[in-house]
Chains A and B, each alone.
Chain A
């Protein structure tokens, strides 16, 4: 045995530049498409030009980018930490509702009933705003709620669940029950958030018309930038030692505990972060789609998030974003071409991915590499 170990044999720290040259080029390319190409093609190129990017396309891509943020959040907790949540639609909807409340107040006097109160409150014969709406006229206050409410709800839930060491399928079922309970609560008119109709008919945001093409484009670019920022944040997290502890928890939680780490703190922090990411995605979704109602909290909506992540490839970060675009792109095409077959297709897709592509779309890339003889992460 030689006394001096050849240290240069050891791998370099993976932190630092975060991405390779190719990775950064792709990120810059995506940024250019979102912030320059699509706005120019949509606003500057006339509608009869074949290069024109229509409003429908802009709205669709914006919506899918919001979904992609949720898929990214799912990857952090499911792909990297091994905690399957079937209830992240709750946090998406909570962020959406916080934004929706502000947008409802922005309607002001222009509602159907020409009242200061939102239409649904007039309809229910309410005379004043409930206490939950106290700060809803302030944009800043509602934006704080977009982050604070999902953080608080997920924090309290996560603390109790992780402290009781609830794991696996039991945990997933409880998250599902929680979002279902949220949906039932928001369905009630008495809860004060518009019952089953939710919020819609938005007119303005920050005093500017919400339907104006320039406003839509600003929101679109903002959504794209947020998605890229979330991706880089997630990348920094999984490449840090913290991220490796998360993966260690996924692979062997007992060993993590018997190495002196407290898994509770790690699981709770990533859980709350993923909920906040979904909340912000919901807040960006609502002004662009123009409606928020309790169906966003339905168990099916949350399960779809898990499908996006699984189809794209768990534990890859890029995969779930690709998966969200693939599944939702297919959905928008299918529901137009063969509306009655969409759910069958979704089911078949999930079965096919589980059977043939356990590592999702990103797994195809690895498989091609393997055929070339390069060793990839098992």
Chain B
């Protein structure tokens, strides 16, 4: 193949990638698109699709044929009483728990149940744990460096050096999560809320398609909670977010009265709608809000 043909081919590929990456192109079969088996296909506008997932631990049904669909760029809050299956759902999506039955797809083509944890992460799903999990003895900057999107192999890591663009990207994230003045500090010395933000920053550094956030404002002050809500609202549209939260004030801030809230109960979806709708739903009041 001649060099100019190769270049033309590369340009075509690049154009197709851009088309596929743009969330606005959702809908329609979009013929003539190039697809790679390992890359998720979001052409149908769905980022995550769970179908009839069931998990049981020693007879206890943690998830009971749970079905859920998250759109590309959507922010979805998930609420529910303790034991409703919120964390188990995240475990299934990230490959930590294998369901007894059901299907889980990322985009319309990636079967999550066939992948191991690191592969799922590399496909574009990142998860924040309930307890903030950062590398306590590395600096804030180094925590983000390890999270940056790049080759995860041993050889690459031995000789890796940060490029100017990567350093700028880290600075950008530090600013986004309000940690720029702390970049030299050892992560273990941060406050609880700051650790939560650092972990969120580490997720963002991986440029995920879908972010799973398990009680992200647990242990934060009111002011920190508000700033976290602001941060999440800037992410809507760029990423899909699934936020599991108990704090109704925070959920209210995130949904702004019109975004969908899903209520889980005993391992399946009890209700779906705006926060006002689910709060007036009698079933929901019975099991959850009314206590």
Q: In the complex, what residues of A have CB within 8 A of residue B142's CB? A: 244
Q: Among B160, B188, B199, which residue has its beta carbon within 8 angstroms of that of A241?
A: B160
Q: In the complex, what residues of B have CB within 8 A of residue A262's CB? A: 118, 152
The chain B residue with its CB closest to the CB of A377 is B186
A-side interface residues, number (CB < 8 Å) = 35
Q: In the complex, what residues of A have CB within 8 A of residue B183's CB? A: 9-11
- Establish whether residues B137 and A259, one from each chain, have CB atoms under 8 Å apart when the complex forms: no
Complex Cα gap A210–B202 (Å): 57
Q: Among A6, A251, A257, A269, which residue has its beta carbon within 8 angstroms of that of B136?
A: A251
- Establish whether residues A255 and B189, one from each chain, have CB atoms under 8 Å apart when the complex forms: no
Complex Cα gap A244–B158 (Å): 10
A201 vs chain B, min Cβ distance (A): 43
Complex Cα gap A237–B186 (Å): 20
Q: Among A10, A15, A237, A250, which residue has its beta carbon within 8 angstroms of that of B171?
A: A10
Interface of B: prevailing SS: helix
Complex Cα gap A261–B121 (Å): 9
Complex Cα gap A13–B183 (Å): 13
Q: Does A5 contact B (CB under 8 A)?
A: yes
Q: In the complex, what residues of B have CB within 8 A of residue A378's CB? A: 136-137, 186, 188-189
- Establish whether residues B118 and A257, one from each chain, have CB atoms under 8 Å apart when the complex forms: yes
Q: Report A45-98 residues with CB < 8 Å from chain B CB.
A: none
Q: In the complex, what residues of B have CB within 8 A of residue A252's CB? A: 133-136
- Establish whether residues A257 and B146, one from each chain, have CB atoms under 8 Å apart when the complex forms: no
Q: Does B76 contact A (CB under 8 A)?
A: no
Q: Report B144-171 residues with CB < 8 Å from chain A CB.
A: 145-147, 152-154, 157-162, 167-168, 170-171
Given contacts A10-B141, A15-B161, contact A259 B202 (CB under 8 A): yes
- Establish whether residues B139 and A11, one from each chain, have CB atoms under 8 Å apart when the complex forms: yes
Interface string of B116-147 (1 = CB under 8 A from A): 01100110001101000111111101100111
- Establish whether residues A9 and B180, one from each chain, have CB atoms under 8 Å apart when the complex forms: yes
- Establish whether residues A260 and B121, one from each chain, have CB atoms under 8 Å apart when the complex forms: yes
B134 vs chain A, min Cβ distance (A): 7
Complex Cα gap A257–B118 (Å): 6
B-side interface residues, number (CB < 8 Å) = 46
Q: Does B175 contact A (CB under 8 A)?
A: yes
- Establish whether residues A259 and B134, one from each chain, have CB atoms under 8 Å apart when the complex forms: no
Q: In the complex, what residues of A have CB within 8 A of residue B170's CB? A: 10
Q: Does A172 contact B (CB under 8 A)?
A: no
Q: In the complex, what residues of B have CB within 8 A of residue A7's CB? A: 167-168, 171
Q: In the complex, what residues of A have CB within 8 A of residue B122's CB? A: 260
Q: In the complex, what residues of A have CB within 8 A of residue B133's CB? A: 252, 254-255
Q: Report B17-65 residues with CB < 8 Å from chain A CB.
A: none
Q: In the complex, what residues of A have CB within 8 A of residue B279's CB? A: none
Q: Does A345 contact B (CB under 8 A)?
A: no
Complex Cα gap A261–B122 (Å): 9
Q: In the complex, what residues of A have CB within 8 A of residue B117's CB? A: 257-258
Q: Does B206 contact A (CB under 8 A)?
A: yes
Q: Among B160, B162, B174, which residue has its beta carbon within 8 angstroms of that of A5?
A: B174
Complex Cα gap A258–B188 (Å): 19
Complex Cα gap A113–B287 (Å): 90
B152 vs chain A, min Cβ distance (A): 5
Complex Cα gap A261–B170 (Å): 19
Complex Cα gap A39–B279 (Å): 85
Q: Does B14 contact A (CB under 8 A)?
A: no
The chain A residue with its CB closest to the CB of B158 is A242
Interface string of A236-274 (1 = CB under 8 A from B): 010011101101101110111111111001100100000
Complex Cα gap A251–B195 (Å): 14
Q: Does B172 contact A (CB under 8 A)?
A: yes
- Establish whether residues A247 and B168, one from each chain, have CB atoms under 8 Å apart when the complex forms: no
Q: Does A21 contact B (CB under 8 A)?
A: no
Q: Does B94 contact A (CB under 8 A)?
A: yes
A255 vs chain B, min Cβ distance (A): 4
Complex Cα gap A198–B152 (Å): 45
Complex Cα gap A201–B259 (Å): 83
Q: Among A242, A251, A255, A265, which residue has its beta carbon within 8 angstroms of that of B137?
A: A251
Q: Does A128 contact B (CB under 8 A)?
A: no
- Establish whether residues B154 and A240, one from each chain, have CB atoms under 8 Å apart when the complex forms: no
Q: Does B249 contact A (CB under 8 A)?
A: no
Q: Does A374 contact B (CB under 8 A)?
A: no
- Establish whether residues B206 and A259, one from each chain, have CB atoms under 8 Å apart when the complex forms: yes
Q: Does B15 contact A (CB under 8 A)?
A: no
B85 vs chain A, min Cβ distance (A): 20
Q: In the complex, what residues of A have CB within 8 A of residue B189's CB? A: 378
Q: Does A206 contact B (CB under 8 A)?
A: no
Q: Does B184 contact A (CB under 8 A)?
A: yes
Interface string of A12-40 (1 = CB under 8 A from B): 01010000000000000000000000000
The chain B residue with its CB closest to the CB of A7 is B171
Q: Does A134 contact B (CB under 8 A)?
A: no
Q: Does A1 contact B (CB under 8 A)?
A: yes
- Establish whether residues A244 and B138, one from each chain, have CB atoms under 8 Å apart when the complex forms: yes
B44 vs chain A, min Cβ distance (A): 25
Interface residues, chain B, CB within 8 Å of chain A? 94, 117-118, 121-122, 126-127, 129, 133-139, 141-142, 145-147, 152-154, 157-162, 167-168, 170-172, 174-175, 180-181, 183-184, 186, 188-189, 199, 202, 206
Task: Give 26 pairs: A residue, B residue, CB < 8 Å, sorted on A.
Answer: A1-B175, A6-B180, A7-B168, A9-B180, A10-B170, A240-B158, A240-B159, A241-B157, A241-B158, A242-B160, A244-B138, A244-B145, A251-B134, A251-B135, A251-B136, A252-B136, A255-B199, A255-B202, A259-B146, A259-B206, A261-B152, A265-B153, A377-B137, A378-B136, A378-B188, A378-B189
Known: A10-B171, A261-B118. 19 other contacts (CB 8 A): A5-B174, A5-B175, A7-B171, A10-B141, A10-B167, A10-B183, A11-B139, A11-B183, A237-B158, A242-B158, A244-B145, A245-B157, A247-B137, A251-B137, A252-B133, A255-B202, A258-B126, A258-B127, A259-B146
In the A-B complex, the 10 residue pairs with the closest CB atoms: A5-B171, A242-B157, A260-B121, A241-B160, A248-B135, A255-B133, A251-B135, A242-B158, A241-B157, A260-B122
